[in-house]
Structure 1
Amino acid sequence: MSATPFVIERTYSVSADQVWKAITDKNRMKEWYFDLSEFKPEIGFEFSFEAGPEDKKYVHLCRITEAIPGKKLAYSWKYQGYPGDSKVIFELFSEGSSDTKLRLTHEGIETFPNDNPVFARENFQAGWTELIGTQLKNFLEKKGA
């Protein structure tokens, strides 16, 4: 089992401010991420959501650990009723005059139960690739995102 964090980077043809709003505004987040009842990019803010296969939803428990507007957002990520604790980090980098690179790092995946295939590294890789590589990209490229 690898202790190597999962990292994905994508560059979008929008400003860092637009990407920041997409990853921190709950009304924008529901368009590409998850529909959260509340979200504030403030250290200590806790949020949760359900996600997973249709036959079994998992409650994700998260707490903001770092928030630097326009640059970095980090939060803990665990599952209700399961051991393990991980961390998700979004970092934004301006690329030239109009592009923004997003680097997402998910650390601690190996702390989740390895006897449950839902927690397999490949599932996190597939999920984040879909969210960051497809969903967020499509959202940001829509008019008015």
Structure 2
Amino acid sequence: MHSFIGDPIVVVVHLAVPPDKVWLALTSPDEIKRWYFDLPGFTAATGYQFSFEGGSDPAHPYIHRCEIVDVSPQSVLSYTWRYEGYPGETLVTFKLKPENSGTVVTLTHEGLASLPASNPDFARSNFEAGWNSIVGTSLPKYFGVAVAD
């Protein structure tokens, strides 16, 4: 396993949804595209590779290249994340923890310091805003629930 440099980004949300439903949202291609990115054929299996396009300029999207490195059903989904044509590799991890009748979802993105500091698109603040929007807003909205305190 790699050692990733730099302080990780961590986003935590408490959802009034059981872990099995959150796991389905993280691993089913039909569900993933409703709150995250369209990942046709996505399979939650170690070694599975996937890619998607994203970025602030639709005319010049970044190609994200990812490979799943850890899967523990209804508990952990972790994958490497890099950009085609750029140095650096990061690690994205979703951890699910049952709590009462809901789930605590913790997203961690490590290794951002390995990305080119000269590219403003790779600024930490952009990743923080992106993950807060995806995990803090889009995921709860997908379930039709407010984020619990």
Give aligned pairs, total: 140
Partner residue of 1:28 out of 28, 31, 34: 31
Q: How do 1:63-142 residues align onto structure 2 when only pairs under 5 Å count?
A: 63-96=67-100, 98-141=101-144
- Using the TM superposition, name which of 110-119 and 2-11 deviates more: 2-11
Aligned-residue RMSD, C-alpha: 1.1
Cα deviation for residue 108 of structure 1 reads 0.3
Q: Deviations over 1:2-49 (max 9, x none)?
A: 811000100000000000000111110100000112210000000000
The two structures have a TM-score, normalised by structure 1, of 0.94
Which consecutive residues of structure 1, in runs of 5 or more, have no partner in the other structure? none
Q: Deviations over 1:88-142 (max 9, x none)?
A: 000000011x110000000001100000010000000000000000000000127
- Using the TM superposition, name which of 78-87 and 46-55 deviates more: 46-55
Distance in 1, matches of 2:32 and 2:75, equals 17
Q: What SS is found at the alignment partner of 1:66? A: strand
Distance in 2, matches of 1:88 and 1:29, equals 15
Q: What SS is found at the alignment partner of 1:17? A: helix
The two structures have a TM-score, normalised by structure 2, of 0.91
Distance in 1, matches of 2:136 and 2:120, equals 23
% identical equivalent positions: 42
Distance in 1, matches of 2:73 and 2:52, equals 23
Partner residue of 2:55 out of 30, 52, 55: 52
**Deviating runs (4+, > 2 A) in structure 1?**
none
